[in-house]
Homo-oligomer: A and B are copies of this chain.
């Protein structure tokens, strides 16, 4: 963990303009920048935190990438969940090291990766998706950050149910979560945490109606808006444009014994 190896995902930050680069170290590759070329071989084996130099002598700092920089730059075939939403999901589902979590669909794996980091290598993520191509992409993304070993990617239609039971947290990022509440019900621990993300108000209405048919408590619907500020201290102001909407987050707690 302290020294870079072949296959590692590393972040380089340029001294000149503090621009950031994410790369997977390979013996035969090079990174081309405005300040010259860096051979991956010059990075491999260096301690994290050390400096490397381009052929023009420009300095670059070698760092471990942050979770959110990774999720933001992973390869995608689908809309990913944003950090503003991921953070609240971790808290509302009460995710802890060593825990099991079920997630569907896997998509490009942004939530999968965040959950995998949060439960750590003693935990386990079961991630379902019908599409084999998405699972393949997610696996690549997870492998990149060494998070693939404790993630079980399952190419499956969740209408057939989940294999696991007594799971403390289940999250659905699918277009029609209201159709799978029975399946969630069968696999969620008594008192377990359920969450879902849907983009439209019509979906929220359908999901709320369905949730009220099952023994769920502590229902909550929220949306989060994040606004970036320009970092000029003497001209402090929000950025001109912002993300207006990602989705509505719905949370509930399974109260099975109360049927």
A interface residues, Cβ below 8 angstroms from B: 13, 15, 18, 20, 48-51, 59, 61, 63-64, 66-68, 83-84, 86-92, 94, 96-98, 114, 117-123, 189-191, 193, 199-202, 204-206, 208-209, 212, 217-245, 248, 253, 255-258
Contacts and interface: CB of A to CB of B under 8 A. Distances in A.
Given A61-B191, A191-B64, A258 B205 contact: no
Contacts of A239: 244-245
Contacts of A244: 227-228, 238-242
Given A205-B236, A240-B245, A242-B244, 5 more contacts: A18-B217, A48-B190, A87-B88, A220-B228, A239-B244
A94 B120 contact: no
B222 A225 contact: no
A169 B45 CA distance: 24
A64 B258 CA distance: 16
B91 A89 contact: no
Top 5 closest pairs, chain A to chain B, by CB = A87-B87, A242-B244, A97-B120, A49-B190, A97-B97
